[in-house]
Amino acid sequence: MTAKQELPQLQLSQTSNLIGTVSLFVALIPISLAPVLVKLCEREIGANAVAFHRAWIATIVFGFLSGFEAFRSQKSDEQPIEQKPLTRRELALLFLMGTAGATYSILWAWSVTQTSIPNVTLLSNMNSLFVGLAGYFLFGRRFDNRFIIGMLIAVCGAIALELNEVQFDTYQILGDALALLTAVFIATYLMLVERLRNRFSTATIMLWRCGITTAFLLPVLPLVENRLFPYTGMGWFFIIFQALFCQVFGQALVAYSLSKLSSGIVAVTLLLEPVIASFFAWLIFNEKVSSFDQMTFVVILLGIYLAQSSQSAIKPTN
């Protein structure tokens, strides 16, 4: 391929990377607001019940969106790739992706009851390391030095942000293990979505993810929660708002960004979540943000900038 032919392809990749980056940063707003909304919802119901209601409401929304896409494709002359028969491998990947998404939601909610929130935040945010290691050892991906340095800086900043509040006690070892396992399943989910985006739309992927989460939680919920439904209108408002804003809008944008960016870049950028969550906690609950926390915010941003500006951030176009 000549240099003149490579230039338009490079420009296309850079444009796609920019669109994916913007989508991901927008998605960080509803995703970072989710813990605050869960905290408000837990005044009436538990974390597992919140996850269940988020999942079934989002399943209905993505079901309508998938149906609309199917209807529109019937009116189109071009047959979309999703109309081709599904292979067993594709069905298996969809099921595994939905299972990974459901599992990390359940593990996260369980870990919160077994250890402290700072421990959960710290350990579950290690998913970027698992994505990098799995990409290198399992899929043979090679990352340039700028990306590796940026990822390590961002991870160290995220660790420093929570380290002053983390307490590793023997009675919390189960919760800590669950939080670390959550990071493994988050990494698995991101890598599977990245692979599925070459074949399926965002609505289809999220329909499987939310539908499987609903199916997983439905039989378990009565065993782990005393109250299944909010008892006030305000409680239902927070549930519905969280489902539409955080799950439908936020998680869908993350899935969309994985069609433009690699799962490694997405995982590193998501390390910004506790930073934005701290801002919302300060704004809504008047929680203090120390000067040390502000310094760690800058470190995380620096690491994300280095990773985002590396050559590894550019995902080849198909």
Give the whole-angstrom CA distance, residue 50 versus residue 273. 20
For the entire predicted model, the pTM comes to: 0.86
Pairwise CA distance, residues 243 & 264, whole Å: 26
| CA 150/CA 279 separation, integer angstroms | 23
Distance linking the first and last C-alpha atoms of the chain: 16
For the CA atoms of the chain, what is the radius of gyration? 20
How many other CB atoms sit within 10 Å of the CB of residue 293? 17
pLDDT in tens, the chain (318 residues): 555 555 555 565 667 778 888 999 999 999 888 877 877 888 888 888 888 999 999 999 999 999 888 878 776 655 555 556 778 899 999 999 999 999 988 888 778 777 776 777 778 888 888 888 887 777 767 788 888 899 999 989 888 877 766 666 667 788 888 888 999 999 999 999 999 988 899 999 999 999 999 999 998 888 878 888 998 999 999 999 999 999 999 999 999 999 888 888 899 998 888 788 777 777 776 767 778 878 888 898 899 888 888 877 666 554
Return the HEC string of the chain. Answer: CCHHHHHHHHHHHHHHHHHHHHHHHHHHHHHHHHHHHHHHHCCCCCHHHHHHHHHHHHHHHHHHHHHHHHHHHHHCCCCCHHHCCCCHHHHHHHHHHHHHHHHHHHHHHHHHHHCCHHHHHHHHCCHHHHHHHHHHHCCCCCCCHHHHHHHHHHHHHHHHHHHCCCCCCHHHHHHHHHHHHHHHHHHHHHHHHHHHCCCCCHHHHHHHHHHHHHHHHHHHHHHHCCCCCCCCHHHHHHHHHHHHHHHHHHHHHHHHHCCCCCHHHHHHHHHHHHHHHHHHHHHHHCCCCCHHHHHHHHHHHHHHHHHHCCHHHCCCCC
Dihedral, CA atoms, 244, 250, 255, 261, nearest 10 degrees?
A: 160
- CA contacts within 13 A on the Cβ side of 68: 9
Q: Which residue is listed with tokens 């491998």?
A: 89
Are 293 and 278 contacting, i.e. CB atoms less than 8 angstroms apart? yes
Task: Report CA 118 to chain centroid distance, whole Å.
Answer: 18
Instruction: Find, among 304, 72, 96, 8, the residue nearest to 201 by Cα.
Output: 72
Q: What is the pLDDT of residue 160?
A: 84
Long-range CB pairs of 3-7, under 8 A, 24+ apart, other chains included? none
